[in-house]
Chains A and B, each alone.
Chain A
Amino acid sequence: MRLPNWLHKLASPPHFYRIAGRIEPWMLWSGLAAIAVGAFGGLLLAPPDYQQGDAYRIIYFHVPAAYLAMQLYALMAIGSAIGLVWRMKLAYAISAAAAPVGLAFTGLALATGMLWGKPMWGAYWSWGDARLTSVLVMFFLYLGYMLLHASLEERSTADRAAGILAVVGVVNLPIIKFSVEWWSSLHQGPTISRLAAPAITWDMLWPLLVMIVGAVLFSLAVTLTRARAEVLLRERGARWVRDVVAVGA
């Protein structure tokens, strides 16, 4: 199977560096704006929950963080798979750039989840819960990817080895999830996965959606910035990098 032409063009590092540099500020500022609007709407405008009171408002940080923890892992694994199959170096650079961002959001999801769990379940942590455990495992998988990547000195070896780990992890994650679900689950069901009739009122829902969009834009902007730095570092011998650094563009 061959890659489409536009993807080939985008895969050239100088081209990617330019395009990403142009998109990145837009993503960053619109993402931050959306986060500000969503936080305002979620923390001040949305009505309190009849059961959970104001404590539920941590959902506006917890759900976007958990969503991004998964999405960035998927991005990392897809980038690695593309790199492994088509030997595309840029895909590896994006995977490597996404890993710390994903780790940070996974940590945020765990932390907000624990803070939420204490008043709601009466415990910060429950080992029998499928989601908690599988997110913790995902945290360790991110960590393993980054440590393996950092310990192998040659970058192309590190890319491929860590890429294989990311792909094995993405196959294993659903298995881990369903294995832990064998135990009864404490975690409340998903709030907004049912598109037709969400189990949440619109007043509470819109800030959450705005927060998710903002968090996605923000995380992509950070990933792109990191990927640009990766590309510069990896291509540091190349002529175009010297030109970029000299001009400062």
Chain B
Amino acid sequence: MSIWLIVLQHEFLIYFKKWIHIIINITFFLISTSLFSIVAGLEPELLAQWGAGVIWVVAFLSMLLSMPLLFQPDRDDGTLDLMLLSAVDPAWLALAKAGANWCVFGLPLVLLSPLLAASYGMQGTALVVLPATLALGTPALILLATVAAALTAGLRRGVGLLALLVLPLALPVLLFGVRGTELAVDGLPAGAPLMMLGAFLLVAVGLLPWAAGAALRATAN
């Protein structure tokens, strides 16, 4: 457990040294979501309806952008091989890396999302429900992407393949995230999709680090 905390600390240190990537990610998220609303030029009510889908998909894509940072640098300089040789279970390693990644790349999106929701004309509970769906859904997505990142860790320019592997598997999370927000936009209770997202998150935390650990072992050289 203490080794796990050291890995977590190591991750945060690396990310704060590469703070520029965090800024890039947030900027990508903001620019893409604004581009959609500018280009679509929809009526205000339609904009609120479409906003949920746009914000969710762009949040997902911007998280995928950060995924090459998850294992590639550690793999290139040999740190990953040393970590895999250590006493830490690779599943814990994957969980620590995914957790740190979410704090750095996922959490800012959650915190920014009410602002975007407001700019898309959402009102009332939607301004709370959208961040709530993102807060429950994005960690599950990061864990899925962690598995794919571990599978493609050895590949140069593997990010396209990574996206292709994650996109179909991520469908349930996206569906419930968007549906929950849409319900809130229509002024309906959004409890059920939120609970489903919570269930997905629990399953993801329970199973996916294990798969990611196995993938790390499989692709280690």
Chain A complexes with chain B: yes
B171 touches A137 (CB 8 A): yes
B171 contacts A157, C-beta separation under 8 Å: no
Q: Is A88 an interface residue (CB 8 A)?
A: no
What is the CB-to-nearest-CB distance from B197 to chain A, in angstroms, rounded to a whole number?
11
Contact with B along A129-151 (1 / 0, CB 8 A): 00001000100110110011001
Inter-chain contact A176/B171, CB cutoff 8 Å: yes
A172 within 8 A of B: yes
* Cα distance, A143 to B160, chains bound together (Å): 13
> Looking at chain A, what size class is its interface with the partner chain?
20 to 34
Query: For A176, what are the chain B residues with a Cβ–Cβ distance below 8 Å?
Result: 168-169, 171-172
A144 to B169, CA, bound (A): 11
A residues within 8 A CB of B161? Answer: 144, 147-148, 151
Q: Give chain A interface residues in 171-204, CB to chain B under 8 Å.
A: 171-172, 175-176, 179-180, 182
Chain B residues near A133 (CB, 8 Å)? 171
Inter-chain contacts of B158 with A (CB < 8 A): 151
Place the interface of chain B in its size category. Answer: 20 to 34
Please determine whether A179 and B172 come into contact, CB atoms closer than 8 angstroms. yes
Give chain B residues whose Cβ lies under 8 Å from the Cβ of A160.
Answer: 214, 218-219
- Say whether A79 faces chain B, with CB atoms less than 8 Å apart: no
- B211 / chain A contacts, CB cutoff of 8 Å: 164, 167-168
- Pairwise interchain contact B219-A179, C-beta atoms closer than 8 A: no
Is B164 a contact partner of A144 (Cβ separation < 8 A)? yes
A171 CB contacts on chain B under 8 angstroms? 207
Which residues from chain A contact B169 at a C-beta distance below 8 Å? 141, 168-169, 172, 176
The answer to whether the Cβ of B179 comes within 8 Å of any Cβ in the partner chain is: yes
- Chain A residues with CB under 8 Å of B200's CB are 175
B172, A152: Cβ atoms closer than 8 Å: no
Contact partners of B5 in chain A: CB under 8 A: none
Contact A157:B175 (CB < 8 A) given known A147-B161, A147-B164, A164-B147: no
Cβ of A165 < 8 Å from any Cβ of B? yes
Interface membership of A84, Cβ < 8 A:
yes
Q: Residue A205 at the B interface, CB < 8 A?
A: no
Q: Mark A80-115, 1 if CB is under 8 A from B, else 0.
A: 000010000000000000000000000000000000
Count of CB-CB pairs between chains A and B under 8 Å: 74
Contacts of A163 in B (CB 8 A): 218
Which residues on the B side are within 8 Å of A144 (C-beta)? 161, 164-165, 168
- Chain A nearest Cβ from B216, distance in angstroms: 10
Is the CB–CB distance between A141 and B168 below 8 Å? yes
Q: A164: shortest Cβ distance to chain B, in Å?
A: 5
Q: Do B151 and A140 have beta carbons less than 8 Å apart? A: no
The answer to whether B147 touches A168, judged by C-beta atoms less than 8 angstroms apart, is: yes
Find chain A residues with CB under 8 A from B115 CB.
none
Interface pair B219/A152, CB less than 8 Å apart = yes
Contact with A along B65-89 (1 / 0, CB 8 A): 0000000000000000000000000
Question: A164 touching B167 by the CB < 8 A rule?
Answer: no
Count chain A CB atoms within 10 A of each CB in B148, B151, B175 and give the residue with the most: B151
The interface residues of chain B lying within 8 Å CB-to-CB of A59 are none
CA distance A169 to B147 in the complex (A): 11
Tell which of B155, B165, B172, B196 touches A165, judged by Cβ atoms closer than 8 Å.
B165
| Contact (Cβ within 8 A) B219 A157 | yes
CA distance A137 to B168 in the complex (A): 5
Compute how far the CA of A167 lies from the CA of B147 in the bound complex, rounded to whole angstroms: 12
- Show the binding face of A for B, using Cβ within 8 Å: 84, 133, 137, 140-141, 143-144, 147-148, 151-152, 157, 160-165, 167-169, 171-172, 175-176, 179-180, 182
10 A-B pairs with CB atoms under 8 Å apart are A140-B164, A147-B164, A148-B152, A151-B152, A151-B161, A160-B219, A161-B218, A164-B215, A165-B165, A167-B211
A-B pairs, 3 with minimum CB distance: A160-B218, A179-B172, A140-B168
